[in-house]
Structure 1
Amino acid sequence: MGFQDREAGVPLGPDKLFRIYSMTKPVVCTALMTLFEEGRFQLTDPVARYLPAFAKLRVLRRTEGGDRLEDLTRPITVRDLMTHTSGLTYGFLDDSPVGALYRESHFLDDAGRTLERAMADLAELPLAFQPGTRWHYSVGIDVAAHLIERLTDQPLGDALRERLFAPLGMDETGFSVAEGARGRVAAMYGSPDIMTASLPEIFRAALGGFNQRLDVEANYPVDRPETFARGGHGLFSTTSDYFRFAQMLLSGGELDGVRILAPKTTQLMHLNHLPEALRPYEIGGLPAYGYGFGLGSRVLLDVAASGLPGSVGEFGWSGAAKTYYWVDPQEDLVGLFMAQYMVGLELPERTFQALTYQALVG
């Protein structure tokens, strides 16, 4: 439905490529868990054991007397990275002064910085919260991606290709687009770019009717594989490629005779890892009622509280430009919604989910 390029009248089709933003996160976490299965780390390990620069982190605390730095009450663990309980944040979030420091640093949106360099710059900035005290959406999975690089001694793109994309036949998924395929990349529309604007700025623009074509090449380029790779965003993919990834998760870590993870590992990833005190998690003040969080994906705990049809144990995630997927093991179902509309206030993905379940009558 709709257009790949509205101005040129190019229709959207099944071969189009999308910037999937945070739907990169489940992919990266899955790749990291292949290393967990190899005994390369434990979820409870301190991140600084593998990335020593993160040993010196402190927390920036805002008080009536001014901002001050506090020592960590405990180290960040690998599990914290994947569950967003590390104390890290995002530049677009303004509920801590650390968000502004992220925006000023440009460590994440500078496509000329490698992931290694970006994470070194991140390690120079303070945490927004003490590890384990809050669920807070963050660049933690970018750190997890750099952990993959450190454990495999490979660039992230190469590690993902070797461990996921090649075995699953995801031939058009990666951190860049082949020159001959760039004409199939869907144009971006919507509110100001989430990589450079704060969430309040984005919401004000959206409420004011701001909706125009966006050029996001500067921080999400099609042609910079030598430097541009991230863990929390950055992948390009097609509906068919991402469907194969989701189908593998639905099938307990295997697809078409190729096993990526053991069934028990996929189950571990998609159990709730958040204590009750940290639920419901929220992003930008918007709570996700009924959901817990696993290793890189939300997990449905209470169908009624979510306000949507579904099943306990359903899991998935979304991206800033209206990409969304979910896996429902009870119904043997994968849902996949792809658009390129930056942080819209409308929720077509929820309508799509309701329409999907109303069709299940047998």
Structure 2
Amino acid sequence: MIGTADPQSRGFDPVRLDRIGDWMDRLVAARHHAGNGILIAREGDVVYERTAGLRSVEDGTPFERDTVVRIYSMSKPVTTVALMMLAEKGLFHLDAPVSDFIPSFSDCTALIPGASRIDQVEPCATPTLHQLATHTSGTSYPFNPGILPKAMADQNIIYKNDQEPLAELTDRLAALPLAFKPGSRWEYSVGIDVLGRVIEVVSGKPLDVFLQQEVFDPLGMSETGFAVRPGTEDRFAALYTPLAGDPMGLNDARAGEDSLRLVYGPDDAAFRAPSLLSGGGGLVGTMDDYMKFAEMLRRGGALGDARLLSPRTLRFMMSNHLPGDIASMGPQSFAEQPMEGMGFGLGGAVLLNPARVRVAGNVGDFSWGGMASTFFWVDPVENMSVVFFTQLAPSSFYPTRPQIKAVVHAALTG
């Protein structure tokens, strides 16, 4: 389904491609990453692959192309594709209120403007599926600033793999007010985790079963799932942080003495036997598996004989669904990439203006990343897909994502 090709035949300068490897080696030498890897495909074939460093510093094992990593929020585009597969069957429309599927979201309230306490609320509309998919629903994340994020942190509502089942945690989330009235702002959130529960309700299947049957098996993503697959345990990478405290606790983040402090080893229990299925951040997988998913997006919903979505649905997903760029919607949340010049589609960001983003790219690039500094994008203009994996949290600590785009685009000469 995805072959290989000589990079020169696909418009890449081999000498300039070598700069990508040099950049990856520098990140490892500086102890910014323990290890990393990249795959670049153009016109349907892989033209460049490179790995550097270690998947486990403690064990001295190399980071290789088949290393299994936590992709965290790169789960979001996968879950959103699954949602749209159900929408294509006419089982719901995106303007449906989430309370149609999860009754605990009936009678929603939102914090009043300028609120200083979690009980300062007013009635509001129930978020729609579309607002949950575009981070305009009023839900949030515990690592964002603000009253709702603090309440989520206090109640441990973060959708980690080792928490209570998805249905129970989502009902606890629904008991809290929204940070703002749905549709009025953009704030990075657990909205797509809630959509994972909607998928379960509509399909009648647990989220892991639905994704396996409808996405992973058709695309041949044999090493992707909520749990590390049997037989791949020895390839599972360790997770590191440069922070002194919780790598997810961005509100009180401070640099530590060790830039590669171990957070979770390869025996990470949360990804061996997960108790919660997080459609927003719970998947693990390999670069080759995610490249299959990225190429399915770039090719308009199909890979080989497997068609997940129609080309028209994919164009709809990868269009900007905001009135302008993210910055224009007053975000007060954690940002893994620039918000100026960047719109948002369903489950991922859409490049609107490369000059405003201040990174080379093409209008219509669709991308997203994960908290452990993983990143991918598909470029419909260049017919290119790129997948970059490492394991360092938080992803905002080093500017690796703009650097990746810079070195890849610099190697394109034809």
Q: Do Structure 1 and Structure 2 share a fold, with TM-score over 0.5?
A: yes
Query: Which consecutive segments of 4 or more residues in structure 1 shift more than 3 A?
Result: 61-69, 191-197, 208-211, 216-220, 277-283
Specify which of 79, 82, 99 is matched with residue 48 of structure 1.
99
1:355 has 2:407 as partner: yes
Instruction: Tell me the residue number matched to 1:212.
Output: 261
Matched AA of 1:177:
V
Change (3 A) 1:216 1:122: farther
Task: Tell me the secondary structure at the aligned position of residue 231 of structure 1.
Answer: coil
The number of equivalent residue pairs is 358
Q: Distance in 2 between matches of 1:83 and 1:73?
A: 18
Higher deviation after alignment, 117-126 or 34-43? 117-126
1:97 has 2:147 as partner: yes
Change (3 A) 1:305 1:21: same
Instruction: Tell me the residue number matched to 2:277.
Output: 229
Matched AA of 1:33:
M
Per-residue CA deviations over 1:315-356 (Å, capped at 9, x if unaligned) read 110001000000000100001110000115212232221111
Cα shift at 1:211: 3.6
Q: Distance in 1 between matches of 2:265 and 2:152?
A: 18
Q: Is the 8 A contact 2:135 2:187 kept in 1?
A: yes
Consecutive unaligned residues of structure 1, counting only runs of 5 or more, are none
Alignment of 1:53-68 (within 5 A): 53-61=104-112, 63=114, 68=119
Q: Is the 8 A contact 2:298 2:385 kept in 1?
A: yes
Higher deviation after alignment, 144-153 or 48-57? 48-57
Per-residue CA deviations over 1:199-242 (Å, capped at 9, x if unaligned) read 1322x236x765401127899712224x2311210100100000
Per-residue CA deviations over 1:55-84 (Å, capped at 9, x if unaligned) read 132113374785544334322111000000
Q: Distance in 1 between matches of 2:227 and 2:126?
A: 34
Specify which of 265, 278, 286 is matched with residue 313 of structure 2.
265
Change (3 A) 1:217 1:196: farther
Alignment of 1:97-136 (within 5 A): 97-107=147-157, 108-109=159-160, 111-136=162-187
Cα shift at 1:101: 1.1
Q: Is the 8 A contact 2:341 2:356 kept in 1?
A: yes
Cα shift at 1:178: 2.6
Change (3 A) 1:64 1:240: closer
Q: Is the 8 A contact 1:110 1:219 kept in 2?
A: no
Matched AA of 1:115:
L
Cα shift at 1:105: 1.4
Specify which of 212, 228, 252 is matched with residue 161 of structure 1.
212
Q: Is the 8 A contact 1:111 1:218 kept in 2?
A: no
Instruction: Tell me the residue number matched to 1:328.
Output: 379
Q: Distance in 2 between matches of 1:140 and 1:43?
A: 13
Instruction: State the percentage of identical aligned residues.
Output: 37
Instruction: Tell me the residue number matched to 2:18.
Output: none
Change (3 A) 1:62 1:276: closer
Change (3 A) 1:320 1:229: same
Consecutive unaligned residues of structure 2, counting only runs of 5 or more, are 1-51
Task: Tell me the secondary structure at the aligned position of residue 117 of structure 1.
Answer: helix
Task: Tell me the secondary structure at the aligned position of residue 173 of structure 1.
Answer: coil
Change (3 A) 1:340 1:64: closer
Higher deviation after alignment, 272-281 or 343-352? 272-281
Cα shift at 1:129: 1.1
Q: Is the 8 A contact 1:93 1:199 kept in 2?
A: yes
Q: Distance in 2 between matches of 1:83 and 1:101?
A: 22
Q: Distance in 2 between matches of 1:105 and 1:147?
A: 22
TM-score, structure 1 as length reference:
0.92
Cα shift at 1:53: 0.8
Task: Tell me the secondary structure at the aligned position of residue 209 of structure 2.
Answer: helix
Give the superposed CA RMSD.
Answer: 2.3
Task: Tell me the secondary structure at the aligned position of residue 248 of structure 1.
Answer: helix
Specify which of 247, 260, 268 is matched with residue 295 of structure 2.
247
Q: Distance in 2 between matches of 1:110 and 1:350?
A: 29
Change (3 A) 1:297 1:90: same
Q: Is the 8 A contact 1:273 1:293 kept in 2?
A: yes
Matched AA of 2:399:
L
Specify which of 346, 352, 361 is matched with residue 398 of structure 2.
346
Q: Distance in 2 between matches of 1:80 and 1:157?
A: 23
Q: Distance in 2 between matches of 1:79 and 1:131?
A: 10
Instruction: Tell me the residue number matched to 1:71.
Output: 122
Task: Tell me the secondary structure at the aligned position of residue 201 of structure 2.
Answer: helix
Change (3 A) 1:257 1:57: same
Specify which of 131, 135, 138 is matched with residue 80 of structure 1.
131
1:34 has 2:82 as partner: no
Per-residue CA deviations over 1:90-141 (Å, capped at 9, x if unaligned) read 01112x2111111121232361411111111111111111111100000000
Q: Is the 8 A contact 2:372 2:390 kept in 1?
A: yes
